[in-house]
Structure 1
């Protein structure tokens, strides 16, 4: 790998990121100054029948991460058994149809598929993935790539099983071999800051429940075949009457609400 070339690419990218961070910093000042009202906001949320667990007040730290495409999946396809495989060079994606569909129920599908994922002849690099109920639906089970730097909620690093008539019939898989730290760690917004800010911006309706609030990396941009990831809070809110869920996304560095996905993906939760 040409590390000099990678270094030059990331320097160009970070020139743009510096401008982005400066503008985001200015926009985030109001959020910082409002933290003193968080306690009263939490009380008001409960009065409006908004349910949630204990909110973490720890800010923590995160990174800008980068990756480059590689052929790890393509180079290991021969290890897979009992499935029909197609590999897409452009997206570096494996598409599979299982020879024998796997029967599952709502109660056992996590256990059954966790065992399936562990076997290398079933799924390549399966130990690097974990089940993400926040991103899954009745017809799809989503596994996300995870590692020492954190989870990745992004189409570039996911394993998605398709379910039809209570059977897992196939999957698609993408994989990031290595995430590179591009910048020293920076402070991020706490879970409590993010959720109270969502409420203050009318993003959490009355009579609802916060089902999930997870921090993960997702794609910010692509530059010269390199992908840049930022930390994002994924907050899933379920309406108690309609049972419909929606996932809000918040930039963990700035606290700004992301109105549309940074990578064009629309995530839904059951």
Structure 2
């Protein structure tokens, strides 16, 4: 292992973290922390026809992670069979067109793709990816890379299956070869605090339901070719009438809302959060 290279990476990362924490302090939004206030907020949400399952009030812990780009997919591309392949060296992304498309339904898509991923002649490191319904839609089925420290909900580590007329016709893949822990564990906001904070900041409308609330790692920034990841709460909120899903992202360390993206998903892709 090149310890000198790791020392340089750590120095860059810590400088980046200092800048990030300073900006977070200056731009931070008030987070609901009082137990009594949180409880009253949850009660008010139910009165406004906002549906959700049991919210976990326990705080967790997570890391700052780092990685460097690699061409591991390109180096093992010859293991793949029955597909046309292209590799993008700039984005470190593998594009595949399947020789024989996979027929799927809303009921069997996950089981079929799970079986497909198990064979390394189909997808490299396929067993390291897990179905991510929050990131998926009717035209794309996304599998997120998993690691001992958690899931990676980021474009640098995922398999995205392309769906056309109920058939998977190909996929794109990115892969993080080595996630490095850059800092000791830090406390993360609880699910209950995050949901309450979103509501307090008018991010959860009336007549909606919280479909998912998952904690995963996402990219914070890039520094000298290295990528830094932080834990993020991904909260999916569905309008009960239109069935349109809105994905909210919340920094799990600070509780700050990152951004929101709206996508329309097929009915039946979502389950109630527990």
* TM-score above 0.5: yes
Structure 1 range deviating more: 98-107 or 33-42 = 33-42
Counterpart in 1 of 2:212?
A: 212
Tell me if structure 2 keeps the 8 A contact 1:94–1:174: yes
Cα distance in 2, alignment partners of residues 193 and 27 from structure 1: 19
Cα distance in 1, alignment partners of residues 9 and 192 from structure 2: 36
Cα distance in 1, alignment partners of residues 207 and 166 from structure 2: 32
Q: Deviations over 1:73-92 (max 9, x none)?
A: 11111110000000111111
Tell me if structure 2 keeps the 8 A contact 1:133–1:269: no
Give the 5 Å matches for 1:46-61.
Answer: 46-61=46-61
Task: Let me know the Cα RMSD of the aligned residues.
Answer: 1.7
SS in 1 for 2:216: strand
Q: Deviations over 1:41-83 (max 9, x none)?
A: 0000000000000000111101100001112111111110000
Aligned residue pairs total 265
Cα distance in 1, alignment partners of residues 38 and 99 from structure 2: 53
Runs in 1 of length 4+ with deviation above 6 angstroms? none
- Say if 1:20 and 1:174 are closer, same or farther in 2 by CA, change over 3 A: same
**Unmatched 5+ residue regions in structure 2?**
266-274
Cα distance in 2, alignment partners of residues 105 and 32 from structure 1: 42
Cα distance in 1, alignment partners of residues 38 and 229 from structure 2: 29
SS in 2 for 1:7: helix
Counterpart in 1 of 2:143?
A: 143
Shift of 1:11: 1.1
Counterpart in 2 of 1:41?
A: 41
Q: Deviations over 1:133-166 (max 9, x none)?
A: 1111111100000011000000000100000011
Shift of 1:240: 0.2
Cα distance in 2, alignment partners of residues 213 and 76 from structure 1: 35
Cα distance in 1, alignment partners of residues 102 and 177 from structure 2: 28
Cα distance in 1, alignment partners of residues 158 and 37 from structure 2: 38
1:65 aligns with 2:65: yes
- Say if 1:256 and 1:245 are closer, same or farther in 2 by CA, change over 3 A: same
Counterpart in 2 of 1:99?
A: 99
**Unmatched 5+ residue regions in structure 1?**
261-265
Counterpart in 2 of 1:159?
A: 159
Normalising by structure 2, we get a TM-score of 0.92
- Say if 1:267 and 1:143 are closer, same or farther in 2 by CA, change over 3 A: farther
Tell me if structure 1 keeps the 8 A contact 2:105–2:166: yes
SS in 2 for 1:202: coil
Structure 1 range deviating more: 15-24 or 201-210 = 15-24
Shift of 1:12: 2.4
Counterpart in 2 of 1:110?
A: 110
